[in-house]
Amino acid sequence: MLLIPLILTIVFETLVLLALREYRAKVLLACVVMNILTNVPLNYYVQNVCPGMSSIIFGEQLVFAVEAVCYRFVTGNWRTALIYSALCNAVSFSMGVLMLCTYELITIPKCRL
């Protein structure tokens, strides 16, 4: 179950960049490539090696840092890179948590009184 989180992350983060009026193809392509390189290993690690909130939080911090450096090379500006990385990762993480909670609410059997 690595493909669905990857696709959703790419969609959400691309939408964030477009909402920030970032239309440069090299930045949008970097977003896709960075997420392929960071999202898949993070999700694999959290799902199969070390599940738990501390792993997720540490992994998200690492992804934020890696993506900020990559955005810096693509945009040429640290401030822009940090904003892009922070907002993209905050939105995709929040949407992931929201979807997971919604899924669990739907699939938990109803209690009978």
In this structure, are residues 21 and 83 in contact, taking their beta carbons and an 8 Å threshold? no
SS3 89: helix
Distances (CA, A) of 62 to 25, 26, 41, 67, 112: 25, 22, 12, 9, 44
Q: Which residue range forms the structural domain that includes residue 63?
A: 3-107
Question: Is there a domain that residue 51 lies in?
Answer: yes
Token readout for 63 is: 């992804």
Q: 72 lies in a domain? A: yes
pLDDT of residue 111: 47
Q: What are the pLDDT digits (tens) for 49-97?
A: 888 888 888 999 999 999 999 999 999 999 999 999 999 999 999 998 8
Q: What is the pTM (predicted TM-score) of this model?
A: 0.86
Q: Is residue 10 part of a domain?
A: yes
Q: Total domain count for the chain?
A: 1
Domain for residue 112, yes or no?
Answer: no
Q: What share of the chain is helix, strand, coil (3-state, %, to 5)?
A: 85, 0, 15
Please check whether residue 99 lies inside any domain of the structure: yes
Residue 113 located in a structural domain: no
